[in-house]
Structure 1
């Protein structure tokens, strides 16, 4: 790792970590005086049009994207480029962009109130596209970095903690996809909250991996 990469590692890791915390802002639904249904309701409803605390949740998502965009670009520019890591940083950039787009195309109020349209009435809206892009992008990033951790023997924390978090998020995603084709609700709200929570935890693991690796390289260069 070059001296430039070591200097940039701390702000990159910090940006990713803060982004992870911002992406966890949905937990405020349990604190703020809002009427939500964590079992069957979707997180997109928190910042849907007309919701009382839309500004809080939309701002948190926007900050997530604004922090990850430069972090991903910096990761591409300053760290050694290999196929899997290049894919990972690129996918992380796409996740940041899609998360910002989520705030620009919020869930329309009519979809949250309509009884028609199946389990996912919001799929008929532009918000569905941005949300799908966000979930797909971070999934690609997580799988790419996990594969890189094994192939290049880097980022031990991603091979251990990160892989476990990725498995939990994948299981929650499968839960949602299967339940969508079954009658009933099947606690889809819980599944989505597990999925999004796993995304945040994985981002924290990535931030820790970047920081730890930079310190290990610094210690190796200065053994005395």
Structure 2
């Protein structure tokens, strides 16, 4: 690339990073659409009810929550692709961007395959699962893929922050969010297999809330990284 071409690329990179960051930030806000359950006239139980039940088939505000999930996916897919194209290719960050794209696709699938109000075992309803029996339908697969994908993205970017000495905010605030989300996930996995009520709804809301906070943190990191991407990356 010529010197003029390099200068043009350097000028465009910060602009592109702002666009990517804006898409991720809006996606983070849309992924928090579940907080509307406290505003809309919904008969919900935040302590024990899973978020998937808010946009289950037949729910009065299903389109509101479902549209939020679709917007999340529609924004994160191009944002992840842009991240792959704009920023220097590193193994860990590449894994992170790909996982973020998978999270976006899974979130769209979540909205397209909502929970159905049916009896486990009947045609089209699936069979009960030992883990999270409320989610024994195809929605269970999409939700699992979404959570797994963003978990991989979080871990990949966190490791990249330490390994490459970049993405500094992910090494600080992002790590704290990672710990909170991980603790909430352990709460869900363990308590769901124990007898009695353990406020699984609260655990999932903390888990999902930490995902939104991490996405906002990633958006800030993208802006900062977009300003510094031309600097040489220090290696340990």
- Do they fold alike, i.e. is TM over 0.5? yes
Distance in 1 of aligned mates of 2:213 and 2:67 = 20
Alignment of 1:44-55 (within 5 A): 44-55=52-63
RMSD: 2.1
Structure-2 residue corresponding to 1:32:
40
Structure with more of its chain in helix, by fraction = 1
1:179 aligned partner: 191
Aligned length: 217
**For 2:88, what is the secondary structure of its paired residue?**
coil
Which residues in structure 2 correspond to 1:147-166 (within 5 Å)? 147-166=159-178
Q: TM-score, normalised by structure 2?
A: 0.87
Partner of 1:146: 158
Q: Deviations over 1:82-126 (max 9, x none)?
A: 1000000000000000000001100112369xxx98783333100
Contact 1:150 / 1:159 at 8 angstroms: preserved in 2? yes
CA offsets, 1:159-206, max 9 Å, x none? 111000010000000000001221012000000000000000000000
Deviation >6 Å, runs of 4+: 116-119
Cα distance 1:118–1:32, how it changes in 2: closer, same or farther (>3 A)?
farther
> Is residue 105 of structure 1 aligned with residue 113 of structure 2?
yes
- Displacement after TM superposition at 1:137 (Å): 0.1
Query: Aligned partners of 2:42 and 2:143: how far apart in 1?
Result: 23
1:50 and 1:189 map into 2 onto residues whose CA distance is 20
| Conserved 8 A contact 1:105-1:127 | yes
- Are 1:211 and 2:219 counterparts? no
Unaligned runs of 5+ in 1: none
Contact 1:24 1:197 in 2 (8 A): yes
Gapped regions of structure 2 (runs ≥ 5) = 1-8, 121-127
Q: More displaced, 151-160 or 120-129?
A: 120-129
What is the DSSP-based 3-state SS (H/G/I as helix, E as strand, rest coil) of the residue aligned with 1:107? coil
In structure 1, how many angstroms separate the alpha carbons of the residues matched to 2:166 and 2:138?
38
Q: Please name the residue that 1:86 is paired with.
A: 94
